[in-house]
Structure 1
Amino acid sequence: MMEGRMTKTGNAATGADMAPPIQSLGDVELFWQQTQGWIASHYLSIAIACASGALIIALLYGLRMLGTRLCRREHLGHWPRIVGRAIARTNLFFIVMLAARLVSGYATPPAVVAGTIGFLFTVATAVQAALWVRELVIGIVEYRAGEEDSGSSTLGSAIGIIRLLVTAVCFIVATLLILDNIGVNITGLVASLGIGGIAIGLAAQGIFSDLFASLAIIFDKPFRRGDTVKWDLTTGTVESIGLKTTRVRSTTGEEVVISNTNLLNKELRNLAHTLRRRATLMLSVTYQTPPEVCRRIPDMVKAIVTAHDKAVFLHCCMVNFAPSSLDYELLFDVLDEDGEVFNSARHDICITILESFAKQGIRFAYPTQTTFTAAPDGTMIMPYAEAPTPAA
């Protein structure tokens, strides 16, 4: 008798993993009859399994509460908060089914009961995995975008589209996994989704190109709202970054609208991250300036530039004998990112050079031309006839 009972139990446990879930009213009646018989013959094992399951549920629920607390601890960094956010989204139904799956083997349930537990566990696991992946991906995207951008109108629309796409992909994959586990042939469905995705991608190629360009702005951060950028002949301040276009307020006052794809394909200069700004000035003095004064000009200019607290002198030297002037090139850097500070420093240095040259009697050159007339033998003569001497 004992041997026969053990053989019967072993067969039930062996076929539990292969038994299908409840699919009809007959299965419901069979499920109820087998459950009653199982409870009557294995009540002690069932009690121990229920106690173990309750302990597992309590531990998993405590882990979920720990994840909720990690979301509120800003000093721990972004990765603990992202992981805690995913853990906090753990579903109670998944916790219960996980505990039931873990302890069901000890209680040796009937085939229909075990099959039902396995089916519900598969559904709960697929949905829960989709929730975890969604929270991790969105958390990483929001971190890369920055808190100030994700909450503002700059990239809020793009992040909203990302949430929608990630959610759709995760739950579509979860649905396909569930259908595959219950025996549905999903080959045709997967092929249809692939063909539909290709058709939509080709029809909206330009929109998706600009959308992915906005994602590149989120992750790579070549510029942000408020930065001063320059490309080609346009210089301006970024006012907004949308899903398809970026709007820049140029220095001349008009609003420049450019697609995200075209903007990233250009050589873009972000002037907001300039640690220093370089000024290049051309100082032109007249040819009548004495050579000894010309030799002192670089030292005079260097003293003027180094006296300014924001300026760093690079060089000043004569570079050219122009048709109307002696040209000096002056290079110096202003150690500040602000354009107004740079303009003010350059203005002060120019005015000081003008004052210093005026005190030294050094004259700035301007375009002039002098004409001399020569006789056939090469002797220089005046370009006009001398006036006749009046009679006595």
Structure 2
Amino acid sequence: MEFLLNNNDLENWSMAIGVCLGATAAMVFLRMIFLRRLGDLSLRTVTRIDDLVVKMLNRTYLVLLLAIGVYLGSIFLVMPDSWRLVVSRVAVASLILQLGIWGDTALRGWRSQLLAQPGDGARKASSTILFFMLRLVVWTVAFLMMLDNFGFNITTLVASLGIGGIAVALATQNILGDLFASLSIMLDKPFEVGDFIIVGDALGAVEYIGLKTTRLRGLGGEQIVFSNGELLRSRIHNHKRMQSRRVAFILRIAYGTSEAQVTAIPAMIRDIVGSRSDVDFERAHFFRYGDWSLDFEVVYHFKSPDYILHMDAQQDILLQVYRAFQREGIQFAHPLSVVRVAGAHDPVGGWPPAGASPAELMKH
């Protein structure tokens, strides 16, 4: 005797229930396998991606997997189109909801890992706002997709949200510009708290990075405040990330120094600078006849970014140069002007001529 229930015999119901339970069990089994493998892998690695995937899989809900399994089982049943549409829409909504939960879990896990790192409170506040906005985007997209799945016309809603968003953006463009600049500083990290930076004619150590402003402590002790948008539009010199310092200076030697002494100066400087282990010598050249001196340019690279150590090294080099010049009798130049009195036989000499009348002087 053939058993019928809603136009489906026992074989169809058995097949549908078997596929539903089998598909659900298979998804649960795969989830367990991935969790076990990734859990063991995350214990052996220092990467964060496997930890995030483990957290996402732990937030997989059985009821949502069962809804997908019911849809797969319903394929083997004969049912009205309206019922089949309802089952498919529930399955798609379950899939969208599960994807939203995974995305939200990944963002919250990423935020937790970022906040666990040592850092200033302002940067953590910026990251909190960033992740809130990303989570809002995820759930907004998921909500709109679910509405569209259930047959709602979301075109008008999306257009209304777009117009409202444009109006808000125009009204708060300066604030939003500084806010997004703060997020850009947080993500790109062109500088951090404690870095010594130069922006235009302002220089100082970064002591605070906020949502709207960044503050420097100047060399004179004053506080310099920049809006984040203005700061990112400027050229920033970050001295803390300097790996070495290029040092160039000019030695001015007095005119009248002998040819032998002038010729010996580059080698003398090379020996002095090259004797230091913390310095890479580049060059020393007689490069210019100055107005009142013979000019030598010296260039070397100090291997440490530390400013105090650089000044100590430069002081020692200059003192050794001074001692060597004294020993060799080489004189440093100093600014001077030479006044020359023209004689009668010089091209400009003999002027004005003796006994010339004022009228004759006017003719010249």
- After TM superposition, the score normalised by the length of structure 1 is 0.75
AA paired with 2:315? H
CA contact (8 A) 2:27 2:65 kept: yes
Deviation of residue 74 (structure 1)? 6.9
> Are 2:50 and 1:80 equivalent residues in the alignment?
yes
CA contact (8 A) 2:7 2:78 kept: no
Deviation of residue 46 (structure 1)? 6.8
Name 1:384's counterpart in structure 2: none
> Are 2:183 and 1:183 equivalent residues in the alignment?
no
> Are 2:177 and 1:209 equivalent residues in the alignment?
yes
Aligned ranges 1:234-273 → 2 under 5 Å:
234-273=202-241
Deviation of residue 176 (structure 1)? 1.9
Name 1:196's counterpart in structure 2: 164
Deviation of residue 202 (structure 1)? 0.9
Name 2:93's counterpart in structure 1: 123
Shift >4 Å, 4+ stretches: 4-7, 41-47, 106-117, 135-143
Aligned ranges 1:102-121 → 2 under 5 Å:
102-106=72-76, 117-121=87-91
In structure 1, what is the Cα distance between the partners aligned to 2:205 and 2:320?
Answer: 31
Name 1:90's counterpart in structure 2: 60
1:364 is paired with a residue of what secondary structure?
coil
1:272 is paired with a residue of what secondary structure?
coil
2:240 is paired with a residue of what secondary structure?
helix
Name 1:99's counterpart in structure 2: 69
Deviation of residue 222 (structure 1)? 2.4
CA contact (8 A) 1:52 1:103 kept: no
Name 1:17's counterpart in structure 2: none
Aligned ranges 1:2-151 → 2 under 5 Å:
5=4, 8-9=7-8, 44=14, 48-49=18-19, 51-52=21-22, 55-56=25-26, 58-62=28-32, 65-66=35-36, 69=39, 72-73=42-43, 75=45, 77-106=47-76, 117-136=87-106, 148=117
Deviation of residue 167 (structure 1)? 1.6
Name 2:269's counterpart in structure 1: 301
In structure 2, what is the Cα distance between the partners aligned to 1:154 and 1:354?
Answer: 50
How many residue pairs get matched? 347
CA contact (8 A) 2:247 2:301 kept: yes
Name 2:336's counterpart in structure 1: 368
CA contact (8 A) 2:197 2:240 kept: yes
Q: Which runs of no fewer than 5 residues in structure 1 stay unpaired?
A: 11-37, 380-392
AA paired with 1:289? T
In structure 2, what is the Cα distance between the partners aligned to 1:66 and 1:241?
Answer: 41
Deviation of residue 224 (structure 1)? 2.6
Structure-2 change in CA distance of 1:231 and 1:43 (3 Å): closer
> Are 2:251 and 1:283 equivalent residues in the alignment?
yes
1:362 is paired with a residue of what secondary structure?
coil
> Are 2:354 and 1:354 equivalent residues in the alignment?
no
Structure-2 change in CA distance of 1:375 and 1:54 (3 Å): closer
Deviation of residue 302 (structure 1)? 0.6
AA paired with 1:371? V
Name 1:222's counterpart in structure 2: 190
In structure 1, what is the Cα distance between the partners aligned to 2:271 and 2:79?
Answer: 94
2:248 is paired with a residue of what secondary structure?
strand
AA paired with 1:277? R
Q: Deviations over 1:4-61 (max 9, x none)?
A: 9599339xxxxxxxxxxxxxxxxxxxxxxxxxxx9xx977557645652562353154
CA RMSD, Structure 1 to Structure 2 (Å): 3.5
Deviation of residue 275 (structure 1)? 2.5
CA contact (8 A) 1:127 1:174 kept: yes
Q: Which runs of no fewer than 5 residues in structure 2 stay unpaired?
A: 348-364
Name 1:388's counterpart in structure 2: none
- After TM superposition, the score normalised by the length of structure 2 is 0.80
State the identity %: 29
